[in-house]
Each structure stands twice: as structure tokens, then as C-alpha cells.
Chain A
Amino acid sequence: MRKKIAVLALFISIITGIKAIAQHKYTISGIIRDKTSGETLIGASIRILPASKYSSTSNNYGFYAIVVPQGSYSLVVSYTGYKPDTIAIQLTNDVLQHVSLAPTSGMLTEVVITSQATKDRLTTPQMGVQKLNTAEIANVPVFLGEKDIIKTIQLLPGIKTTGEGSGGFYVRGGNIDENLLLLDEVPVYNATHLMGFFSTFNSDAIKDLTLYKGAMPAQYGGRLSSVVDIRTKDGNNQEFHGSGGLGVISSHLNLEGPLEKNKGSFMVSARRSYADIFLKLSSNKDVKNSTLYFYDINAKTSYNLNDHNRIFLSFYNGKDNLKISHDFALYYGNTTGTFRWNHNFNSHLFSNTTLSYSDYNHHIEIADNSSNTKIGSKIRDFALKEDFQYFMSNDDRINFGFTSTHHTVNPGLIAASQYSAYNSKALDNKYALESAVYINHEKGIGRLKINYGLRLSVYNAFGPGEFYTFNKEGDATDSASYAAGQLVQTYINLEPRASASYQPDSMSSLKIAYSRNTQNVHLISNSASTQPTDLWILSSPNVNPEIADQLSLGYYRDLSRGRYEFSSEIYYKQLQHQIDFKDGAALTVNNYVESQLLYGIGRAYGLELFLKKKTGRLTGWISYTLSRTERKIDDINNGNWYAAHQDQTHNLAIVSMYQLSKKVTLSANWVYNTGNAVTYPSGKYAINEQTVFVYTERNGYRMPAYHRLDVGVTIAGKKKKRWTGDWNFSVYNAYGKENPFFIEFKNDPANPNRTIAQQTSLFRWVPAITYNFSF
């Protein structure tokens, strides 16, 4: 209680402080949009001339506010890929000034990149942030020609793929479940399709992605390692348009248009894979009868009620149907929905209210001639979030708000038909309320800019249900029964966040940041890579919130008058209450699942280097990471530190795009990384005449180093009236490197008295052709 009062007092003192400062100044505010589509532009830069020290950027809804003394000015608005616009303003009172920018076509020009946005990269105290929009990744060659923003971020420093062709990723040594994947502000619990080969994010529907690898602003919380904030398109509010693509593995179509010109718009995007259509060509009956597909639907509508109020409604549904034989099938999918209301109280205070829903469920189906059994689990969230942004003066801004999420987890369900070997069983739902209040203040003092904030997270687990106490052997020694709505456990965590930037000159900056994050939903996976059937569990009397503390330092520089940007960061991360599981753990539909868990600590540290060329015929980047990720878990590796599976010492990616002519763009990626840490045998013996291996330590060996070249070419077709189409050809793994997917140790089939190590690789030379169109 005392803490809450302290936070409130701090807040009031800051708010009242503002009034005194802001008296002789006025605010220019508004929304920045694309002129042709009406789409809001996130992160556009706003500058005041001649008083160029006044600047701002548009927020996640395209809204900006800038506080300037009385006078006459030019307002310059710029955004990468758009023609800058200059507007003359007589400032004698608060001004509402919406700005629409026209997109430039073709190459990124010098004019664009020397814009304010590059300067903001240096001045902002925010560290560990990467931004991508779908236009930027359009030409990067990808697996099976399926544009995937999540696979493109895996080519950035500090981000590692979970495996060959995978849509899963690790950030700075964190586990996969430590990434907060937000689709229009709702967490998506399983962001992959087809066992991880594709991500759930359909590039057609996505406007903008911001990835935080550390030092997340205080408005984000609930995961340890990263935030991937994905915003979908609002839809064109000027005229009806469509786009789509026909590919080897899937096709997609996106339609958008005005509901009412300049006021309301809609966007619908759908995608379906059809790998199973090729299976139909097989002469084999079982292959023929397999289904192996996924689909995605994104829909959004937005409406400007008036200058001060806008509403948005977003929806996502995706599902995988993987049936590989008559007796086994796997189904899984996410559904999310968001209602948002943007409101500016006045030109200083912007607010966003979010009501959201997220659902992930999976089940397997086992069938034989006489019976059918379904085994599954489910997680469902309802959330309310309220964010405020208070623009006090040019260099002074406060974000504050609160959020509350109600979680329902069904840890396991078996639905068995009469003659099934399984018994029908439904474990009790688990309920929790995860809430937080936060405040964040950004202030500039000369060449120094600081950002400090605090997030107070409160987690409450509620009944009804039985909660067990376990001994070391994992047997339940005691149980407590709770009534519906009865409080079982509360965890309160204070999460301080602070960062600072210092600019010794206009082309470079130094930054430092510290942040603490906590996590109350945990993914329990008994495999080295995650699977759709992995279980989400909530913090409980046995399972503590996971905690991460991260300290990072960075040096950033613009080179060659902004043609190149360079950044380097080092980080050290400490993890508490990490979760692993016992050997042979039974996690499926287990009331005592917590008895199968082990707990420990972790640490991760590394150096990340990034050089990006932003203009000219040749664009692209080089990304290098040197890092170490370790865990220390009770009862694993005799309680000693060991390398986590995702530990890769070196990680290099080179991404390049070359504009050969107006019509032809060539592209190539090359990636190299140290192999993952794995457990290999160091000896052998026989049990019941069968070879069994001796393991001396956890993850004491390395997979062979991984490298791969992908190439692609995009050929733009002739523009016909409204229709434009282009062809994309690509080859994944162009030199056919046989990278091991897994390594199996077994008796040599040719000589049963010997043992061999045999690698299996998944893909060599995966060619793809895609036709993309828009109208």
C-alpha cells in the first residue's frame, strides 16, 4: 500500500510540475498519414525550423505532439520512403495539424535518409531496439518464398533462430517463451505454423514491427527477454486496393478500402498453405490422405470519430491441421481480438484504451478402428490496458498507465471415446490476474537524454482448485483446497527501468540502460526445440515468477553523412527462477505437473555489432554477435553451470540487396553460426543386449557450425492500369550445405559391433517461385 501511495505522489508531483514549465508555450499536435492510403505512419519525425532543437516522432498510432514557444515556424515532417513535407505555422495558440506524406517510388534517396529519423536513433536513450517495416524486407530471400518478418529479424544481432527454417527465435540467450509477441497489443502464445517452419504473422497484414531486446519501456512487461510489437495495417481510407501472392507453399490475398473516405477503413488478409495438395499427387494412399496445412485470417477496421477520437477493431485467427496418417493428427491455433480507442484529451495528453482477447489451444487426436481420443490444453486471456502519453515540452514526456490481464489455463484435457485405452479427464482450470501500473519519464538535458521509469507488477493466483506441496522425490505431501475466487498466492515485483544517452557530437552517441523484467506465464517443454503441444503454466505457490536483470552499454554512429549506420551493444543478463524439468518428465494432462519441474538460475552476456547501408543501389546489413548463455539448474549437470541449448558463440549474417535496374532487384543472404550446445555420448554399454550411451555432462558438445547462402531475384512486371505484378525467384541454401538438423548415435547398420554418429539434414537447395500482385 505504501508503495502505491509513493508512486501516486511521484506522479502527481510530475504532472503539477509540468504546468509551471509549459505556460508560455503552445503545442502542435496531430496525426501523420500516408497520403495515398491514409495509413498512419509510426515513428515519423517532426522538426521545427528555424528552432531545430524542437523535434518529436509520431507514436504507435501516428500521433505526435510538440511543444514550442510562441512564434512563426516551418513544420518539417519526414519518414523513410516518403517525400518530406514542410508546413508554415503561426503559433499563437495550440494547433491541431494533421500531415499526409506522399510515398517516393524506387530507390531510397539521400534526401530521405538524412532526415530526422536517423538523428533520433542517436538521441533516444532507448537501447536494444530494432525496427522493420514490410517494405524493407520485401526483397530479402526467404525459405520457400514465404515472406516472413519473424525470419527476417533472425538476421539481426542478438536474435537466433530455433532451427532450420524456423519461425521461432531466441533473444539474447532467453528461452522462446520469454518473447512477448504482440499483435495489435495482444500477446500471441504460439507464433508458429507447421511445426515452426512459418510464423503466424502474415506479412501482407503487417505495417510495422518494433523489437526490444532489452531496456523495454515500462509500458511493456510480462516477459523476460524481448518485446516484438507488431502493428497491422489500418486499411486504405482513400480507395479500394488489393494485393496478394501465389507461392509454392501458400497463397495470400489482402483487401483494403475505405468504409467512409478519410474517416473509416477496413483491411482483410488471408493466407492458406497447400503443401498437402502436392501430397495428393502421391501414389501412396497414406501420403495422399495426409492433411498438412495452415491458414491465417487478419481483419481490422478503424474509424476516426472526430479529431480527438479514433477506434480500431482487430481480429486474428490461425489454425494448423496436421494429419499424417489415419491414426494420428495434431491441431493447434491462436485467436486474438483487440478493441482500441485513441483519445486525445487535449494537445498534451494522448490516451489509448485497449480491450483484448487471446486464446491458444492445441490437441492431438489418436484413433484406431474402434476408438478416438483427443488430448489437449488451452490458455485464454482477457485484458484491459490504459496508456497515457503526456507531452510536456520538447524534451519532456511522460508515459503512464495500467494493465490487467485475466488468465485461464486448462492444463490438460482428455476426451476419450468408449473403447479408448485412455480415460476421459479434465484437469481443473487455473486462474490468475496479472496487473501492473507503470510510469516512465523521458527528459533531455543538453546533450544528455534520460529515460527512467518504474513498473509495479502484481500477480494473483485464484481458486478454485487443489494446490499441492511436493517433496524432493516429486510426491505430493500436502494439498490445500481453495474455493472459487479465493486468493491462493500473490507475487509483487518492482521493475525499475532506466536508460540514458549522451551525444559527444551530432554523428555519434553513447548509451547505457538497465531494466528488470518479470514473467508469470511459463512454457514447459520437454524437448530441445519447442513444439505446439508444449504446455503453458502459471506462477503458483510452487512456481515463482521468473526475473531478469539486464545491463547494457552501447555506442552508435552515423557514417558517411548518414549513408551507413553503425551500432554496437554489450549486455549482461542475470536470470532467476528459471524452469527446467526432470528426465523422463510426464507433462501431459498431469495434475502434479509442478512435481516434474526443476528450478535454477541463468546468465547471458554478449557483444553485438551492426552495420547497415541504407542508400544507393546496394543496400543491406552485416550483423555479428559474440555471446554466451548459461544455466545452472538443481539436479541437472550435477548443479554446475552449463551452456544452454541456444548458446552459439559466433553468429554472423550478411544481408544484401542490389538494384540492377528499375525492374530487377538481386538479393543474397549469408548466415554463419557456431553449432548449438548439445549432449553427446562419451561412452557406451549394453542394457538387455542393446547399446545405451553414457552422458557425462549437459550440453558439453557442439553441433557442427551452420552456414547457408540464400539468393533471390525480383523482377517487376509491366504496370497495367491498376494492376502491378512481380515475380520472385529464390533458392534457400544455394550451395546445398547439408546442415545437420539432428545427430543420431546408433549401431552401425553395416557393422553391428560398432557405433556411428549419423546426421540428418532437412533441406538442400529449396527453390521457390512467387508471383506477387497488387491492384
Chain B
Amino acid sequence: MKTNYIILFIILLTGCTKTLDLKLRAADSQIVIQGSITSQGPPYYIKINKTVPFGASNNYPAVSGAVVTVVDSNDNKTGHFTQIGADGYYVSYNLYGQIGHTYKLSVKVDGQEYTARSTMPGFVAIQELSFVQTKILNQTRNLPQITFVDPAMEANNYVFTLLVNNVPYKAFYAMNDRLTDGNIITQQLYMDSSYIQKNDRVTVILASVDKNVYNYFNVLQANSGASATTPSNPPSNISNGAYGYFAAECIDISTRTF
């Protein structure tokens, strides 16, 4: 809920910040698997890395030598993924994501198998990408907002991705239609550090996803920033204790220059 904004408002008036040197324990390195099958067609990527301790630099060791497949369980087509580059990416060209199909991921590495499944929901189009001005304290913020029509009488889950000048903006956006079923929805994409500037080229990807993928991104969204919620690991849909997610996404993309 947005009640946190009132606390944030008070902090903006009176608060002050400083960097702390905390002694954090280093958790054992764990496998992280992420990737999606989209309605946009191949190539599809699955990325496999390892976690690092908090104090380390943001370079996550790639996992090599994994056997990665995705099976379309509706037509039993199998996509075999091959490793490319040094960052842990695996790529496949021989699948085509289709609405209503369920995709099953299998990753075999170091004697372990990690599996996940996800079903691609129906298509929801972005009606309009526009910009909205909000003023909080001394800052005028230009935020992108998208308008779309939520299909009535069914549960819909969405994950949004925002790119500014082709660089992904660092925030997680997830919403479902539990309270907004069947309506025209105008969704602002909140930004808390940099905002949209003149001539910025803004891209928004609306991904319709299944409930498990929504749950994953919803917890990431709740964990981020100055949240009052006790943070927790997002509920991964991948088995065997792997971090990350596997999503079948039906997507629509809209781009506009401010």
C-alpha cells in the first residue's frame, strides 16, 4: 500500500542518510536460473549463474556445462539450449512461444536437475504509452504510464519492464487484476532515482504471466527500496532450491520519445 509514502514524505522533510559498514555473513553460493519463453518468438535465453556474498563485486560467476531444455508440453516440441558467451547464457532457436501452451524447463548441472513450468496467458495490448507529471517536494518527475484493457472475468497477472534509451530501468513492476478486473487500467511506472528527461526514448514491455511468475515479481517489488515489509527470498517456481524464475510471457511492447 502507498501508506509508506507518508513516512517517505516525513523522511524527505527531516531525514538524513549515511553508509554503514555492516558485517554480513556470506551464504553458500547457490545456483540462479532465469529465462523466459515469450510470444515474440526466438531466440530464447536461459541464464545460469551463482550467487556471491554481499561484499563481493556485482559479478556473478557463470555456470558452464549445463544441459538445458524447454519442452512445449502441448505439442511436445523440445528446445535444446546451447551455451553462448561467458556470462552464463544458453540460447535456443527451435521453439516458438504460443498462447495457452505450457513450457517445461529442465536444467541438469553438477549431478542435479532443476525443473520449472509456466503457462503462457492470453494477449493483452498496450493501448497507449504516455507521460505523467507528478511533483513531490522540490522535484518534478515525469513518469511513464501505460493504459491497457484488462480482460474481464479472468485472473490476469502482469509484469512490466521499463527501458529508458534501451537501458533497463532498475525496478520491478508487478500487478494483478484482483481489484481491477475488466477495467481500463492506467498504470504509472514509479521511478525513485532518475526520471524521464526530454528526448528520452522510453520503452515499456507489458508481459502477461501466470500466477507463480507474478508472485515471484510481486515479492521482488515488495522487497525493494525503503519497504517496511520484512524482506524474503521471492518464491521461485524452479525446483530443488534454485533461485530465479522461468516464465512463459505473452508480451506487448510500446516505445515513445518524450
Contacts and interface: CB of A to CB of B under 8 A. Distances in A.
Interface stretch (B57-65, B71-79, B110-118): B57-65
B138 interface: yes
A311 to B, nearest CB: 40
Contacts of A421: 180, 183-187
B24 A680 contact: yes
B25 A682 contact: yes
Contact of A760 (B16, B52, B233, B243): B16
Interface residues of B, number: 78
A755 B229 CA distance: 20
B179 interface: yes
B135 A695 contact: no
A65 B24 CA distance: 62
Nearest to A371: B186
A679 B137 contact: no
A375 B19 CA distance: 37
A690 B181 contact: no
Interface in B153-203: 161, 168, 170-172, 178-187, 193
A685 B16 contact: no
Contacts of B60: 685-686
Contact of B243 (A528, A680, A694, A749): A694
A753 B135 contact: no
Interface in A661-689: 678-689
Contact of B20 (A529, A645, A754, A758): A758
A759 B20 CA distance: 7
Contacts of A686: 32, 49, 58, 60
A692 interface: yes
Contacts of B50: 685
B241 to A, nearest CB: 11
B137 A586 contact: no
Given A685-B51, A687-B34, A701 B24 contact: yes
Interface stretch (A428-436, A460-468, A614-622, A761-769): A761-769
A590 B58 contact: no
Interface stretch (A11-19, A146-154, A175-183, A320-328): A320-328
Contacts of A679: 230-232
Contacts of B225: 744
Given A195-B7, A695-B231, A744 B243 contact: no
Interface string B193-223: 1000000000000000000000100111011
Contact of A584 (B49, B134, B168, B219): B219
A769 to B, nearest CB: 18
**On chain A, which size bracket covers the interface?**
35 or more
A763 B32 contact: no
Interface string A560-596: 0000000000000000000000011010111000000
Contact of A688 (B14, B49, B161): B161
B203 to A, nearest CB: 14
B127 to A, nearest CB: 13
B151 interface: no
A163 to B, nearest CB: 10
A161 B133 CA distance: 39
B233 A757 contact: no
Given A195-B6, A325-B136, A584-B215, A693 B54 contact: yes
B53 interface: yes
A364 interface: yes
A281 B183 CA distance: 40
B234 interface: yes
Contact of A423 (B15, B180, B231): B180
Contacts of B179: 375, 414, 422-423, 425, 588-589
A419 B185 CA distance: 9
Contact of B10 (A526, A685, A762): A762
B20 A690 contact: no
Looking at B26, B30, B49, B135, which has the most chain A CB atoms within 10 Å of its CB? B135
A414 B178 CA distance: 12
A682 B26 contact: yes
Contacts of A684: 51-54, 56, 58
28 contacts: A325-B135, A364-B1, A421-B185, A423-B181, A526-B229, A527-B228, A528-B229, A588-B1, A679-B232, A683-B30, A683-B52, A683-B53, A684-B51, A684-B53, A684-B58, A685-B30, A685-B50, A685-B60, A687-B32, A687-B34, A695-B231, A698-B232, A701-B22, A757-B21, A757-B24, A758-B18, A762-B10, A762-B11
Given A527-B229, A758-B17, A760-B16, 6 more contacts: A422-B180, A684-B52, A686-B58, A688-B34, A744-B225, A759-B19
